A and B are shown apart, each in its own frame.
Chain A
Amino acid sequence: MLKINNLHVRVGEKTILNGIDLAVKPGEVHAIMGPNGSGKSTLSHVLAGREGYEVIEGEVLYQGNNLLDLSPEARAHAGLFLGFQYPVEIPGVNNMYFLKAAINARRVVQGRNELDAFDFIQMAKTKAKLVGLDESLLQRSVNEGFSGGEKKRNEIFQMAVLEPILAILDETDSGLDIDALRIVAEGVNALRDPERSVILVTHYQRLLDYIVPDYVHVLSEGRIVRSGGRELALTLEEKGYGWLKEKSPHIAPAGPGA
C-alpha cells in the first residue's frame, strides 16, 4: 500500500526528514509518536503533497506508483486522506457544499456519476451520526468558528464521508475531550477494513487504548528511531523519549550529513 524508502526532506535550508523508511500494508494501523518538532507533521504534509517541501532523496510508493509525482488532488482522488493537525477555516463556504464538491471530484475521476444533493445529504447525515458530529455544524462554513474539538471531529467526519484507502490523522486526538476521543476512536474503528490503512500521529498513548495499532514508531529528529508493537507506546508513556536517545543515539548507519 505505502512504502517510504530513505526519505529526506528539506524546507529552505533546513533538513527536517533524515531518511525515513516505513512500510504500511493494507488494513494496518501504524501509530507515529515523537517529540515536538521531530517531523511528524512534515511527513504527513509531504505524503499529502503540500508545496514548499523539497524531497532531496528517497521515494514514496503508493499502490505501486510514485506518490511524489502526483498533485495533492490526484493523491486525494487515489484515496489518500490527511486529517489536519490544524484544520483550516474557509469562511462563507458551506461545509456540506465543500464536502459534496470533494466527493464528486473524486467520483468524476473514477468515472462514477456524481452524487446528487439528496443522496449526498442522506449519506452525510449517517456519517455525522457515526462520528458524533452535531448536525448543525454541517450547515456552517467549513471550520469557521468551530471549537478546537469540533474541528477535529469535522476532520473525522470528512474522512468517514470520503472513505479513504490511506488515512493519515495528524494529532486528531489533541483538543478532544474524553468522550469525544472515544466517539472519534469508535468512528475510526468503524472504518477499519482489511483494505484501509491508517497512520495515526499522536502524542497520547490513551488514543491507542481505543484504536489499537499494529505498529508504533518513534520519530525523532527526522528519523524513525524505534519501532515496535503496541507496548512501545506504554513504555514511552512511562519513560518519555529520553531513554531512547541514551540507549540508541545512532540507529542510522551514517551521520545525517549537511
Chain B
Amino acid sequence: MTETNSSKSPSLATAPIPGQAPSSTEELNTHLRKDYEHGFTTDVESDTLPPGLNEDVIRHISRMKNEPDFLLEWRLDAYRHWLTQRAPNWAKLNIDPIDYQAISYYSAPKTEKDGPKSLDEVDPKLLETYEKLGIPLAERAALAGVAVDAVFDSVSVATTFKDKLAKEGIIFCSFSEAVQKHPELIKRYLGSVVPTTDNYFASLNSAVFTDGSFVFIPKGVRCPMELSTYFRINAANTGQFERTLIIAEAGSYVSYLEGCTAPQRDENQLHAAVVELIALEDSEIKYSTVQNWYPGDENGVGGIYNFVTKRGDCRGDHSKISWTQVETGSAITWKYPSCLLRGDNSIGEFHSIAVTNHHQQADTGTKMIHLGKNTRSTIVSKGISAGQAQNIYRGLVHMGKNASASRNHTRCDSLLMGDRCGAHTYPYMEVKNPSARVEHEATTSRIGEDQLFYCRQRGISEEDAVSMIVNGFCKEVFRELPMEFAVEAQNLLALSLEGSIG
C-alpha cells in the first residue's frame, strides 16, 4: 500500500525547485514513503496451539521442545507466580488491557515455505527501505522473508561461522539447541540474573518462552567477531517471548548485536523478551540493540507492545557490561536494561537513543545497582520525540552500603520536534554509602526553526538538516555502536523522523 500523504508535506520544504532535479525528487519521494513499510504478511501457519494459557499449554510447549524436567518445573513455577501477579500500571503509559487468554503461546518453527520464492516477489518498497538503510545485499533477501536456501547457502555460511567459533570453544546457538546440548549451563545460569519472580512480564516469559539465543564465551577467549550477522539472518522469527542468555567467563570478551534496522512486522502484538548477561571476573560484554518493530500507524492504531527485561550481572571483579540501544519502533516500549555491579571495580554502561514519533510511547532507561566497591557506571540517554509521541527516561542509580568510592554519571538529553510531543525524565537515586558519588545532568532542547533556517540558508535541504541535527544530537551513542551498524542506525533515525517537521 502506498499512501501519499501530500497534505503533510510542508509547503516550502520539499517543493520541487526547478534545476534541483536529481536530489530533490529523490528527497521528495522518500518523504512521501515515510509510512512504515512492512512488505508482506504471511498467513498463519497450521501448527499452532489454540489461544489460551494454563499449565497444560506450558507442558505442551516443554514437551514439543523435548525439554528436561528441571526446565518444565522452572516454567511451571514461573507460571504459578505469574498467576498471583497483576499487570503493572504505569502512570505515563496508556495501555489497553491485554487479554492473555487470547494469545496463542506456541507455533511450530516457521518453514518459510509460504514466503516469497525470490527477491522478485518481494514488495519493491521494502527493498528500497533496505537499500536506504544500507543493509548488505546478501542479507536483504533473508530479511524480506525469502526462503533463504533459494537465495544463498545460509547453511554453509552458518557452518563456517560456527566452526570458527567452535575452535575457540565459543558456543553460539539457539536457546533450544543449548537446552539440548548444554543443559548443565542452562541449569546453572538461567534465571540467575532475572529470576522468574522478577516482574510480571519476566514471569510470563519464563513460563512460556519458545526460543532465543545462547552465547557462552569460555575463559580468556576474545570472541573474534561481532555476533550479529548470523543472528540477523537466522533468528528473525524467534517469536514474541524471546529468551537470551549470554555468559562471559573470566577474562573473556564478546560483542553481541541484537535486532535489525530493517522494519519488522509481527502479528503478535505483545513482545515480552528476557535477556540475561553474566560477566565473570575481568570479562566484558557489549550488548547492542536496534529495535524497529512496527510502531502502529499515524493514528496510533496497531503496533507492537515491547515489554522487555534486560539485565546484566557484573558478577566478577573488574568485569564490564555495556548496553547500547537504538529504539525507534514499537507502539509502546518499556525497557530498562540494567547492570548489577556486584564485583569490585566493575563497570556498567548504558547508552541509549529512543525515538518516538506519531503516537508512540516509550518508557525506557536503566538501573545501575552498585553493590561492589569502586564500581562505576555511565548513563547516556538521548530521547527524541516528534508528532504527539511521549518519551520518558526513567532511571535508577542505587549505591549500596558496600559500594564505597563508587561513581555514577548520568546524562539525559531530550530533543523535541514540534510542540505536541513530550519528554519526561525521572531519575531515582538511592545512596547508602557516603563515599559514593552520583551526578545527573539533563537538558531538553527543541529542533529550532532557527537551526533549520540556518542550515537551509546554507543550501542544505530541510530533510537533510533534520537528519544532521538529530544525528549530531545522538553522536555520543552512535559512537558506541559497531561501525557498519552505526551507519545503518543513522539512516534508520532519519527514516523514522522523515516529515516530522513542517
Chain A residues in contact with chain B, CB under 8 A? 48-52, 70-77, 81-82, 84, 87-93, 97-99, 101-103, 105-106, 108-109, 141, 158, 162
Cross-interface CB contact of B17 among A70, A90, A106, cutoff 8 Å: A70
For A71, A89, A141, which residue has the most chain B Cβ atoms within 10 angstroms?
Answer: A71
Known: A51-B453, A102-B460. A77 touches B20 (CB 8 A): yes
Which residues of A are found within 8 Å of B457, using beta-carbon distances?
48-49, 72-73, 75-76, 81-82, 84
| A71 close to B13 (CB less than 8 A) | yes
Which residues of B are found within 8 Å of A49, using beta-carbon distances?
12, 456-457
**Min CB gap B382→A, angstroms:** 10
Cross-interface CB contact of B455 among A82, A90, A141, cutoff 8 Å: A90
Known: A51-B453, A72-B12, A73-B459. A98 touches B468 (CB 8 A): yes
Cross-interface CB contact of A91 among B453, B464, B473, cutoff 8 Å: B473
| B472 close to A141 (CB less than 8 A) | yes
Which residues of B are found within 8 Å of A158, using beta-carbon distances?
458
- Asked if B461 is at the interface of the complex by the 8 Å CB criterion, the answer is yes
Known: A84-B454, A88-B451, A91-B473. A105 touches B468 (CB 8 A): no
Task: Give Cα A52–Cα B448 distance, bound, in whole angstroms.
Answer: 13
- Asked if B3 is at the interface of the complex by the 8 Å CB criterion, the answer is no
Mask of B423-454 contacts with A, CB within 8 angstroms, 1/0: 00000000000000000000001001111011
Task: Give Cα A103–Cα B457 distance, bound, in whole angstroms.
Answer: 11
List, sorted by A's number, 19 A–B pairs whose CB atoms are closer than 8 Å: A48-B457, A49-B457, A51-B12, A51-B453, A71-B12, A71-B15, A72-B12, A72-B457, A74-B20, A75-B457, A82-B457, A90-B455, A90-B468, A91-B445, A93-B468, A98-B455, A101-B464, A103-B459, A105-B458
Closest to B12 in A: A71
**Min CB gap A139→B, angstroms:** 13
Which residues of A are found within 8 Å of B476, using beta-carbon distances?
92
Given A101-B464, A102-B455, A102-B460; 9 other pairs, CB 8 A cutoff: A51-B449, A73-B457, A90-B455, A91-B473, A92-B471, A92-B472, A98-B455, A103-B459, A109-B17
For B445, B454, B471, which residue has the most chain A Cβ atoms within 10 angstroms?
Answer: B454
Closest to B456 in A: A72
| A102 close to B469 (CB less than 8 A) | no
**Min CB gap B418→A, angstroms:** 14
Task: Give Cα A49–Cα B11 distance, bound, in whole angstroms.
Answer: 13
Task: Give Cα A91–Cα B454 distance, bound, in whole angstroms.
Answer: 13
**Min CB gap A9→B, angstroms:** 16
- Asked if B8 is at the interface of the complex by the 8 Å CB criterion, the answer is no
Which residues of B are found within 8 Å of A92, using beta-carbon distances?
471-476
Cross-interface CB contact of B454 among A51, A71, A87, cutoff 8 Å: A87
Known: A73-B459, A102-B458. A108 touches B451 (CB 8 A): no
- Asked if B89 is at the interface of the complex by the 8 Å CB criterion, the answer is no
| A76 close to B456 (CB less than 8 A) | yes
| A108 close to B23 (CB less than 8 A) | yes
Closest to A45 in B: B453
| A71 close to B456 (CB less than 8 A) | yes
- Asked if B19 is at the interface of the complex by the 8 Å CB criterion, the answer is yes
Which residues of A are found within 8 Å of B88, using beta-carbon distances?
none
Closest to A158 in B: B458
Task: Give Cα A158–Cα B458 distance, bound, in whole angstroms.
Answer: 9
Which residues of B are found within 8 Å of A141, using beta-carbon distances?
472
Known: A51-B12, A70-B17. A88 touches B454 (CB 8 A): yes
| A109 close to B473 (CB less than 8 A) | no
Cross-interface CB contact of A72 among B19, B448, B453, cutoff 8 Å: B453
Task: Give Cα A219–Cα B450 distance, bound, in whole angstroms.
Answer: 24
- Asked if B22 is at the interface of the complex by the 8 Å CB criterion, the answer is yes
Known: A71-B12, A109-B19. A93 touches B456 (CB 8 A): no
Known: A93-B469, A108-B23, A141-B472. A76 touches B458 (CB 8 A): yes
Closest to A84 in B: B454
Known: A72-B12, A77-B20, A88-B450. A105 touches B459 (CB 8 A): yes
Which residues of B are found within 8 Å of A75, using beta-carbon distances?
457
Known: A93-B469, A101-B468. A73 touches B453 (CB 8 A): no
**Min CB gap B171→A, angstroms:** 40
**Min CB gap B160→A, angstroms:** 36
Task: Give Cα A97–Cα B449 distance, bound, in whole angstroms.
Answer: 20
| A106 close to B459 (CB less than 8 A) | yes
Which residues of A are found within 8 Å of B459, using beta-carbon distances?
73, 76-77, 102-103, 105-106, 109, 162
Mask of B464-501 contacts with A, CB within 8 angstroms, 1/0: 10001101111110000000000000000000000000
